[in-house]
Amino acid sequence: MPLTRAPQRRSNHRIRLNPPQAVVIGFLGAILVATTLLALPIAHAPGVEVTLLEAAFTAVSAVCVTGAIVVDTANAWSPFGQAVIVAFIQLGGLGIMLVASLIGLALLRRVSLRGRMVAGAENRAVTTGDAVRLARGIVLSSLIIEAIVAVILTLQFWLSYGDALPTALGRGVFLAISSFNNAGFAPFSDNMIGFATDPIVVLPMCIATILGGLGFPVLLQLRRELRRPLHWSMNTNLVLAMTALLLVLGTVVIAVFEWSNPATIGELSVGDRVLVSFFHSVQARTAGFNSVDIGQMTSETWLSIDVLMFIGGGPAGTAGGIKVTTFAVLLFIIITELRGEGAVNIFGKRLSRAVHREAITITLLSMAAVMSATIALMVMTHLDLDVLLFEVISAFGTVGLSTGITADLPPAAQIILMILMFLGRLGPLTLGTALVLRQRKVLYELPKERPVIG
């Protein structure tokens, strides 16, 4: 009987990306486009030459909503260049994959399951089915908050500072978008130092920064259930409680350490000292605007801000850092262990043990990234540890605050800061997952044993 060859299946060589990998590629693509646009001569101010590295650094800082700069935003970039920066701040804040999902929704009137998974991966959505509704809420909330802040700032610049209306409008929109997206870019050479004691300018910016740093899940739940706090999730309760606590502690600590410092707030009135201290407590988590010279602050203040920058803001928002929920989980784990209790209970609910591992993993990976980068910069430069540590944590936390050394660092050090900004924006866990080509499930468990701890 003659042998017949079985029909061969046509092999599919298409590369399938999991959601975290798609997010990484999306951000890299946005950075490449932003770098290309900022490298164009039309993006530079007349008579100013911007190198490719400076354009790339600015692009990474904008897309990763950091605010670290190596050239003067006000004087180095033309109106076109500043428009590119603010556009990619908005794009980076909302999330590249989220924007892609919204475009697909508008064109096709539907979003595929894979598209929903990608949007959920970037914004840490609870379920894939909620991604479309979440995306609409994110955009609507963002535009409303930014519009309100932009109107307030525009009127203040126009009526109180004598700016022409188009100039006032441009500055107001720029700062509103930068504030809500926790970016820290400002259209002024001295950032916000010229407005340090103007509450009509700095307080709306603080409110926008806080709202953006809370995270979109918190904002959406507050919008639906503001008057029903008993229905708030553990995430919402943790974010609100830790945000309030850190804002108060940050304000007190900065005020105490800078109260008598004539180079910062020492010569201001009592009310202005409190205002400036509160402003920097907000900006350290993680917007990065500054209304006094950060380089003139005390070493104690730098270390305090280091802690605030490392913790960051709420998850699924525009802030960076390890997130306040991660810090809160570790804090409650410590409290539970000191009490000798078995389960970690938070606000009347038991915390999943998987969250324990995730919080520990994120924290340790973040610490490893910060320490490795700090050591590398110490080798490359001869600067003091406290200055370099501040710079590294600011980049990793996507804050953008600096003691004034960023532009003077060697190119290799600036590239390290760019990598830290990228890593900090995506999160160590997301980036690590994206690099894993495949995952396998272990079908067995090994015997349990307990080592001696401590």
Please give the pLDDT value at position 108.
44
Is the pLDDT assigned to residue 453 strictly greater than 50?
yes
Structure tokens at 37: 């646009």
When pLDDT is averaged across residues 340-369 and rounded to a whole number, the result is 88
Q: Residues, the chain, total?
A: 454
Average pLDDT of the chain to the nearest whole number = 86
CA Rg value for the chain: 23
Is the pLDDT assigned to residue 330 strictly greater than 50?
yes
Q: Does the residue 437 lie in any domain?
A: no
Q: Does the residue 327 lie in any domain?
A: yes
Q: Is 44 helix (H, G, I), strand (E, B) or coil?
A: strand
Q: Does the residue 14 lie in any domain?
A: no
- Ramachandran class of 64: left when φ > 0, alpha when ψ lies in -120 to 50, beta otherwise: alpha
Q: Does the residue 447 lie in any domain?
A: no
Q: Is 50 helix (H, G, I), strand (E, B) or coil?
A: coil
Q: Does the residue 231 lie in any domain?
A: yes
C-beta separation of 16 from 49 below 8 A:
no
* Model confidence, pTM: 0.88
Please give the pLDDT value at position 393.
97
Q: Is 192 helix (H, G, I), strand (E, B) or coil?
A: coil
Residues 6+ apart with CB under 8 A from 235: 215, 217, 218, 315, 325
- pLDDT band, very low/low/confident/very high, at 97 (cuts 50, 70, 90): low
Please give the pLDDT value at position 104.
46
Is the pLDDT assigned to residue 130 strictly greater than 90?
no
58-83 per-position pLDDT tens digit: 999 999 999 999 999 999 999 999 99
Please give the pLDDT value at position 221.
86
The C-alpha atoms of residue 289 and residue 191 are separated, in whole angstroms, by 7
Residues 6+ apart with CB under 8 A from 220: 134, 137, 138, 141
The C-alpha atoms of residue 222 and residue 219 are separated, in whole angstroms, by 5
Please give the pLDDT value at position 452.
85
Q: Does the residue 12 lie in any domain?
A: no
C-beta separation of 297 from 404 below 8 A:
no
DSSP H stretches of helix in 215-312: 216-225, 234-258, 270-283, 299-311
Q: Does the residue 445 lie in any domain?
A: no
Number of separate domains in the chain: 1
DSSP string, 61-95: HHHTT----SS-HHHHB-HHHHHHHHHHHHHHHH-
Q: Does the residue 106 lie in any domain?
A: yes
DSSP string, 84-142: HHHHHHHHHHH-HHHHHHHHHHHHHS---HHHHHHHHHHHT-S-GGGHHHHHHHHHHHH
Q: Is 350 helix (H, G, I), strand (E, B) or coil?
A: strand
Most confident of 228-232, 296-300, 421-425: 296-300
Q: How many helices (H) and strands (E) does the chain have?
A: 18, 2
Structure tokens at 137: 């809420």
C-beta separation of 243 from 321 below 8 A:
no
Give me the domain span that covers residue 257: 19-431
When pLDDT is averaged across residues 119-124 and rounded to a whole number, the result is 51
428-443 per-position pLDDT tens digit: 656 655 555 455 667 7
Share of the chain above pLDDT 90, in %: 63
